[in-house]
Amino acid sequence: MNTREIGEIRRRVRRDRSNMTAIYGCYVNSQKEIVSSFRQSVGMMPETEAENYFSLLKRVLTGTVGKNLIDISFRTAQVADSPEHKFLMDLRKTELQDDELRMELFRKIIESVNFDESFLILVGCDSYDVPFKSGDGEEQADASNETYTYLLCSVCPVKQTKADLRYVADQKEFHYGGIAQVVSAPQVGFLFPAFDNRSTNIYNALFYTHSAKVGNQALVDALFNVAAPKPAAEQKKSFEALMTTSLEKECSMEVLQNVHDQICQCIELHKESKSPEPLLITKELVKSSLKASGVSESRVAKFSVDYDEAFGFDAQVHPKNIIDHRHFEIKTPDVSIKVNPARSDLIETRIIGGVKYIMICADENVEVNGVNIHFEEKED
């Protein structure tokens, strides 16, 4: 799913737009024991309460594609005949009204997530009459030719508030408020099936993770039985290690600057194009940058082999998962230098008299702890 398609579904997750008739929940304590399961009728909810429920569901459709929002692809054989895909399809077909299926979903999630505190599972089913879009992008709501029926699930930690004094409006006084259980933003969730090319795609799902550092493989296994992509934080570490080990002594400041600059340029061009499709970086693009930087053929070949081992054969990766396009940082054990990525050309490395130096061009004002300093020419 691209950002435009995700946004189209996210805009539906509101009481006044969605066709959800009920939201189902399961409250679980920190020992993974079910405290309660419930059905909340959307039509009977107070307005503020409904807004909160829909907001928690909607949050699993936010974040960065490839980092927080991860495409899950089923194998053809799974779609044809597998218990995990059939289970999701049955949940969708029954619109969550089958109690046994719904409780099985709750159990799968309970057994697979790893929370230290209590948590709340919310799930809803919506049917969307997809409006036809003309060539100029204008929607024709009365010309729908498909109904997209989907499940939306969010898993939210429930945190205990501290006992404190609270203002009681009708008494106009502060009184002891006691301890409350408050639902926090979801940590994981999913949408099934995917909405690709503005149409139902039962071969894919969309998985949400709040943290780019956590893989959630156990939950992905339980729900989809597929290998989850590496978390974004792990991808970044893998790419950094890959550059170090494959290039060895040819991994210079200039090489890293060139690779970083080229990927940043791709990000900027993609942003300017306003394309809804996620930007993906190929192995060949990085290889071309390495060659242009003067890296030897043998080291480029080593990079190619190591890349396939780290990410998969000719895999494409999201650029923001492998570099920090907003920062360019140089570190030694005792010094940290942060540079505007667009001006990394101000930094160079040299060996003078056998000693390694990091050189910074400082033609403009230089501050030390907020104080402007001046340079003096010293005689040898």
pLDDT tens for each residue of the chain, 380 residues long = 999 999 999 999 999 999 999 999 999 999 999 999 999 999 999 999 999 999 999 999 999 998 999 999 999 999 999 999 999 999 999 999 999 999 999 999 999 999 989 999 999 999 999 988 766 666 666 667 799 999 999 999 999 888 788 778 888 888 887 778 899 999 999 999 999 999 999 999 999 999 988 878 999 999 999 988 888 889 999 999 999 999 999 999 999 999 999 999 999 999 999 888 889 999 999 999 999 999 999 999 999 999 999 988 878 899 999 999 888 899 999 999 898 888 888 898 999 999 999 998 888 888 888 899 888 877 66
Q: Work out how many domains the chain is built from and give that number.
A: 2
| pLDDT tens-digit readout, 126-185 | 999 998 876 666 666 666 779 999 999 999 999 988 878 877 888 888 888 777 889 999
Helix axes 253-273, 283-292, angle to 10 degrees: 130
Which residues span the domain enclosing 297?
Answer: 232-326
- Residues 283 and 295: their CA atoms lie apart, in Å, by 15
| 364: in domain | no
Q: Would residue 376 count as lying in a domain?
A: no
Same domain as 132, residue 112: yes
Q: Are residues 12 and 107 in the same domain?
A: yes
Long-range own/partner contacts, residues 43-47 (CB < 8 A, 24 or more apart): 45/15, 47/15
| Rounded-to-10 torsion of CA 90, 17, 68, 35 | -60
Evaluate whether residue 298 is within a structural domain.
Answer: yes
350 in a structural domain: no
One domain, residues 275 and 321? yes
CB-based contacts of 18: which residues, under 8 Å, 6+ apart?
A: 12, 42, 54, 124, 126
